[in-house]
Structure 1
Amino acid sequence: MTTDILRPPQTAGAPPHTPRPYPLPVCPSPRLAQLSASQPDAHAVAAFWAEAAARGTPLLEPDGDGIIVTFLWRDADAAAVILHANRLTDFRRLDQSLMRRLPGTDIWQLSYRMPPTWRASYAIGPLSAPPVPIDPDDPSDKARWRRLRSVARPDPLNREPLRHRADGPALSVVSLPDAPAQPWLAVRPGVLPGEVGRHQVGDRTVWSYLPPGAGHRDLPVVVLLDGDVWGGQGLLGATVDNLIAAGRIPPTMVLMVDCAAVPARTRDLACSPAFVRFLAGDLLAWAAARWPVTSDPAATVVAGQSLGGLAAAYTALCAPDRFGAVLSQSGSYWFPGGEVREWLTGRYAATARLALRWYLEVGAREWDLVGPTRRLRDVLLRRGYPVTYAEFDGGHDVACWRGGLADGLIALLGNIRQS
């Protein structure tokens, strides 16, 4: 490993958090306009809610080449209701995310016209008093924004629930008809499940996934960061079971490393040589002592999202003798920010090509990350790296990542054959 010469600049990294660079496509809903024009009585309102419950929410209405997506909330007492939609809601422009009450009813609604490729997680926050404008440069206002988010709840009529972290809010998901397919998530009849366990490796929690069956040899290994999300919350779900059963990847071992909370998570994932030494040394040695895993870097993947995507790319650069493939989703390639930006991309540009294969993806609505990710892609391609690249119509969102994770595993492990 070369971590001694690949230390990042001693700069406190902070995400850019630039304002959303475009207004939201707020629009009227034909169905709600029709209901409002009829001056609905209690019977009509009850019938509307029964219809919404039967169809599930949000309400989707085709509109040319787009879809009018109407979020709904039933509340007779709230003074205001905020829609918290991933990469749409911006506390600098709360007016574009405040739901409107249909006069004389308990119906709160807000409609956006979206492309049919869009997917996002969301929650809804009813308030006892209207929110006041928030100054993005005022720390107390940022704290107030966090409090507003803390009261958000999942949509009770939505049929796709999601929980990101144990200490995070329950969420709902909207997936429009042409959003990327996520066929590997659900449990399938007849597919044998792997064995999931929880362990302590030094002072870190690690979840393991061992594929079903016996007599395995040289199992490919995926080291997946933010293990509390994927292992602890079960978001890996049946994905690996289904991929193995369908023959899309070989039987594979997954090690899901808990990256804890801020600031420890930032310390470990923001290009830390010590964390690389743990992943490439202690963790893989610990796994090899317990299970029949490969030592072949070509069959060993390091994977992560957000800062974890940055850490995955950094780990492979520092330890190509242990990791031969990188699966990076919405990586924080702006790091470290301030006057020094995209440092890791510069390191790849200045380093001779390594034996690494890549799966890179980013959300088209991640305006802070699309540019840096594309520039890393371009550097890798100029250097001759094999790169599978994807952009999805969504944001910084596990609702999108859980499908892309399967795509990345297929791209990186689909041609691996065990001895």
Structure 2
Amino acid sequence: MELQITATSPEHPASLLDLPWNIPLEQWPEEHLVALPRGISRHVVRFAQAGGEIVAVKEVGEWAAVREYGLLRDLDRLAVPAVDALAVVTGRTDEHGEPLEPALITRHLVGSQPYRSMFQTTMRPSTIRRLLDALAVLLVRLHLAGFAWGDCSLSNTLFRRDAGAYAAYLVDAETGQIQPKLTSGQRDYDVEVARVNIAGELMDLEAGGSLHPSVDPVLFGEAIAERYCDLWHELTRQSVYPLAQRHAIDQRVRRLNDLGFDVAEMQIERSPDGDTVTFVPKVVDAGHHQRQLLRLTGLDAEENQARSLLNDLETWMATQDDYTPGDPLGARPEVLAHRWVRDVFRPTVRTVPKDLRGVTDTAQIYYELLEHRWLLSERAGRDVGLEATVEDYIRTVLADRPHG
């Protein structure tokens, strides 16, 4: 049997041919390997340099390699966070002609770490909760895409932090399957497997002295099941609104915020029956909203102010014709944010007379207007709009406030 490389891109076979496929993976020379932290795996896994990128090589049976390769490519098409499948190598033999196991090649996820390397220094309970929240987000997104994982665990996940945000990525799809829609039983099975696996993995860390003494592995295992259920309910319940019901979208965002999640993306699809709104949640660290708002708009605000303003910006961007999340042909978030400041934020704040604003900064004024709009819209059962909000805000809030 001849060596065969099935790859997603024409350039990958050439770069992969330089690797020593005639040697068992655990015996590969150091000159080909890259020293990166590895998680626990049932199979031999190594990181190697192939051309200009780092790849993860996993030895596994041919049927399993081809199946997982296909599943990872499907997840990529579904835009679910997972490692990128690059190639499957079959027909491997050693120097004596004896067969060697095939290999699955995936791209190294830059900036990611397996959970064990993250726990080498005792991690604070609040950080552990954010990591588990990120895993709950991943599991929900997989289930929404029709993917039953079958073996959700910390070991089968990579974690990445980026500007205060936490994200989890599937790294092992061996036991998974994709269907048009999962049953409640399939989802419940995945959640139960996650609960048991995570509790066991945390117990293992506890036995090794790498777990904060205040962390109860069993309770944290149960917590991810609860977080998953809360998030699943919030993301899958009815979300079609009449055009005049923007406050209902704000209500959904607030509920996600109350659960401890933020909105990474929001998509609004227009139809005669109303707007269908889709949310993609994310997990963030303290101070994230301040940094994000300052980067996008130049506005310097407190954390709660920044969260509210970013939610308003995200909702407004989703209504713009030239904005499609992840589309390189669409307007960049920075461009839209500048337009929002110019066309929405500044004109709205300027409608509030300077003598009534007093020493209140513009970010706080806009934040108070958003809160007032929310209250008025809830009371009216419809979105009252910014113009009516400003008029009522000036009359009922600022009129009784000391000025100067």
| TM-score relative to the length of structure 1 | 0.31
| Greater helix proportion | 2
Q: Which structure has the bigger radius of gyration?
A: 2
Tell me which protein shows more strand as a share of its residues: 1
TM-score normalized by structure 2?
A: 0.32
